[in-house]
Amino acid sequence: MPRHRALPVAAARAAILFVAALAWSASSVSQAADVYATFQTFDGTSLTYAYGFGTFDLASPTGTSGSYSYAWTTLLSPTSATLANPAMSPDSGAMSLQYEFSEYRTITATGVLSGSLGPAPALWGMAYDGADDLYAFNSQSSGTPWLKLDPTNGQQLTEGTVTGAFTDNDIYSSFGGNLTARPAGGFYFANENNGAELVKFTLSGTNATTVLSGSFAGAGFVGGGLSLFASGTSLYLLSSSSLFAVNESTAALTQLGTVTGLPAGFTDFTGAASPFVAVPEPAHLTLLAGGVLAGSVCRSRRRRTES
């Protein structure tokens, strides 16, 4: 008789594990989907620009696809100091950025900015790759615009050239934040020269080889204020306050929605960063927890039959 009670006990324990795994999955995915961005505002009265830092959750919009609303939270209120080129380490989640286009600094997920960690040239993009190495693109670097940086102080470790379909003179950004890396390999740049186009950078020793993916095109895209970032296995583009998914092979855009609740006077994002890979993948956890539940139920049924 006691063994007949094993079914509900085992099932209850498995159900607890299942719910706990799902809760952990939801929490982890929410954290992995946070996008952190620097932004610019303009005061029409004083005719001055100011720059701040904040976040939105890529995984939890409201509304319907194509017109989703992504709620914005300001973490560092706008000040006169220029903030651009945020980059996030895939290993530690630590973030660095460029301050006043002359200093390398770090910033926390709550918006606490460090002091200067070292001088830095004006960059048009800065991003970590999957090996946790930090790279940057500086088109005005006297023939060596492809840089590998020391993540502790922003100093140059190596300098390289850019060759292939594009050289440094063919690539332009009205602001920073246009470079990102993909887990599958390679870097991508939102080039504002020749309209607006997606350029892939592939590492070749200390250098980078460039290939044109295509010109950005899609419903709702009007150009301007471009910031490119990767999250999980996908590539995204911010254009002003609009968010698009990017086809990295063709540069075709699918509008997802807009970032809402932005500060007064918002004009553009000046860079965005997100965790390199969303870990754990929610589908894997669901299957794992479901397998635990199914296995426990089967073992309990077998015991009941044997008794």
Render pLDDT for 227-237 as a digit per residue (tens, 0 to 9): 999 998 899 99
| pLDDT band with cut points at 50, 70 and 90 for residue 33 | confident
Quote the Cα angle for 294-300-303, to 5°: 145
Longest dimension (CA), the chain: 84
One-letter amino acid identity for 40?
A: Q
Bridge pairing between strands 103-107 and 48-57: unpaired
Q: What is the pLDDT of residues 36-72, one digit of tens each?
A: 999 999 999 999 999 999 999 999 999 999 999 999 9
State residue 295's pLDDT score: 39
State residue 142's pLDDT score: 64
3-state SS class at 90: coil
Residue 301's Cβ-count burial label (10 Å; 0-12, 13-18, 19+) is middle
Lowest mean pLDDT among 22-31, 111-120, 163-172, 216-225: 22-31
Strand-pairing partners, residue 258, are 69, 242
| pLDDT band with cut points at 50, 70 and 90 for residue 173 | confident
Tokens 């390199």 belong to which residue? 276
Long-range contacts, 20-23 (Cβ 8 Å, 24+): 21/285, 21/286, 21/288, 21/289, 21/292, 22/285, 22/286, 22/289
Give the CA distances from residue 179 to residues 87, 109, 114, 235, in Å, rounded to whole numbers and listed in that order.
Answer: 9, 20, 22, 11
- The CA distance from 199 to 209, in Å, is 10
Q: Which residues contact 210 (CB under 8 A, 6 or more apart)?
A: 162, 163, 164, 165, 166, 167, 171, 199, 200, 201, 202
State residue 30's pLDDT score: 37
Q: What percent of the chain has pLDDT over 70?
A: 79
| pLDDT band with cut points at 50, 70 and 90 for residue 294 | very low
Q: What is the pLDDT of residues 73-92, one digit of tens each?
A: 999 999 999 999 999 999 99
Domain spans of the chain, in order of start: 1-33+280-307, 35-277
- State CA 93 to chain mean position distance: 11
CATH number 3.40.50 given to 35-277:
no
What single DSSP character describes residue 4?
Answer: G
The yes-or-no verdict on residue 290 having pLDDT over 60 is no
Q: What is the pLDDT of residues 251-263, one digit of tens each?
A: 999 999 999 999 9
Least Cα distance to 180 among 171, 189, 192 occurs for 189
| pLDDT band with cut points at 50, 70 and 90 for residue 102 | very high
Give the CA distances from residue 217 to residues 41, 135, 137, 242, 282, in Å, rounded to whole numbers and listed in that order.
Answer: 26, 27, 24, 14, 31
Tokens 């940086």 belong to which residue? 149
- Count other Cβ atoms within 10 Å, centred on residue 20: 11
Angle at which helix 6-32 crosses helix 282-306, to 10 degrees, equals 180
